[in-house]
Amino acid sequence: MVIIGHDSPQILNAYSTVPLTQSIIETTQHGFYDGGVARFGNPQVVVAIHNRTELHGLSHYDLRIALDAEGALDPFVVLDDHTPQLNAVWYVETTAQCQRWDSFFTGMITYPYENFTTWQIHIRVPDLPITQVAWSVGAGSLPESVPSPYDPHDPQWNIFHYTTGQGPLNWTDPNQILWGDNAWVRANYSEVMLSSDPDLTKYLVPRPRLPFVISLTKESARKNGLLPYWNFPVAVTPPGGEVELSAKYDWDDPRWPKGYPDDPEVVSRLTPTQRVQHADKSPFSRMDQRPQIVPETGNGTQTKLVGPNGEAEVVVSGAVQGA
């Protein structure tokens, strides 16, 4: 039996500095869905959208200070009126990291009423998941990606995007994406095939000292919505046991439907069984109970999310969770 592994995703908290609208929510959710390659139910990064009226109108510096005071010390995302139009959000670093960079870099534009420089980047939404993961392992950094000399008040209208040199990536094109469609699986030996063909190994890195590469058989891959993929095994047991290896998700398999799970047209094409599976595997798992944007009681200029039972909600990666 082939078992597809699932990792615990990194969670980025997002705060809106303006009253949330459906277009802001959808732009953010859909961008993370594409960039995190959540179509296969195993996103590396997900976003939790918080709608807190007391944070509306704050500068990014003041928002960083307010969250620090609550003990929310991690990097966060800022949503604003420009998010839908630009398909972009702000990524704001931790105060500790900002202070480290303040002591390391010179030439930044500083403001006397701010105790530290707010290091932040205006970034295309679908490119944020891979950027977050890359920076977390030391592959690039925020200071390398922002204009120099750095000005924390710069609107950065030249939106940062992750690229291989050919322009912005299309995260729904399997020929362009850089990650996310790899599946880590566990299978019996009867479900895999081995090869010692050197032509299959010469381009693989890193190169452990193993005399063979391994792949799911075409039949076992097809039954699980995967494609065979030759690579070195992750872990092996004696013959008759199990092996851990990598495969590729099959973008054309119907169990990984195209489109967003909150799209009625996508849902209408699914069988009842697929609908349940799709909802369970997707970070949009409760979008059939989509929150509504309604005027907040007593103040028609403010808005809040109201869930199906009338309670205030926080939108977590497209799924509605009680606040």
Convert the pLDDT of each residue in 157-202 to its tens digit.
999 998 766 667 888 888 887 677 889 999 998 999 988 888 887 7
pLDDT at position 285: 33
Percent of the chain with pLDDT over 90: 48
Rg (Cα) of the chain, in Å, rounded? Answer: 22
CA distances for 176 relative to 50, 105, 164, 170, angstroms:
31, 34, 9, 6
- 314, pLDDT greater than 60: no
Question: Where is average pLDDT lowest: 50-54, 113-117, 216-220, 288-292?
Answer: 288-292
SS (H, E, C) 175-234: CCCCCCCEEEEEEEHHHEEEECCHHHCCCCCCCCCCCCEEEECHHHHHHCCEECCCECCC
Q: How confident is the model at residue 272 (pLDDT cuts 50, 70, 90)?
A: low
Rounded Cα–Cα distance for residues 139 and 162 (Å):
12
Rounded Cα–Cα distance for residues 95 and 49 (Å):
21
- 101, pLDDT greater than 60: yes
pLDDT at position 250: 94
Over range 296-312, report the average pLDDT: 33
Q: How confident is the model at residue 284 (pLDDT cuts 50, 70, 90)?
A: very low
- 238, pLDDT greater than 80: no
Give the residue, 207 or 1, on which the prediction is more confident.
1
The DSSP string of 115-161 is SS---EEEEEGGGHHHHHHHHHTTSS-STTTS-SS--TT----S-B-
Averaging pLDDT over each range in 10-19, 201-210, 241-250, 306-315, which range is the top one? 10-19
Burial class (CB in 10 A: 0-12, 13-18, 19+), 243: buried
Question: Where is average pLDDT lowest: 89-103, 230-244, 250-264?
Answer: 230-244
- 31, pLDDT greater than 90: yes
Q: What is the pLDDT of residues 39-48, one digit of tens each?
A: 898 888 999 9
For helices 95-104 and 60-69, give the axis angle rounded to 10 degrees.
120
- 289, pLDDT greater than 60: no
- 323, pLDDT greater than 70: no
- Of 269, 266, 311, give the one whose Cα is nearest residue 284: 266
pLDDT at position 177: 75
Residue with tokens 């509605």: 320
0.85 exceeded by the pTM? no
- 105, pLDDT greater than 80: yes
Residues present in the chain in total: 323
- With beta carbons less than 8 A apart as the criterion, state whether 155 and 122 touch: yes
What values do phi and psi take at 75, rounded to 5? Answer: -60, 155
Sign of the CA dihedral 249, 87, 84, 59? Answer: positive
- 249, pLDDT greater than 50: yes
Over range 10-34, report the average pLDDT: 94
pLDDT at position 269: 66
pLDDT at position 319: 34
pLDDT at position 125: 96
pLDDT at position 196: 84
216 DSSP β-pair partners:
192
Rounded Cα–Cα distance for residues 154 and 175 (Å):
34
Percent of the chain with pLDDT over 70: 77
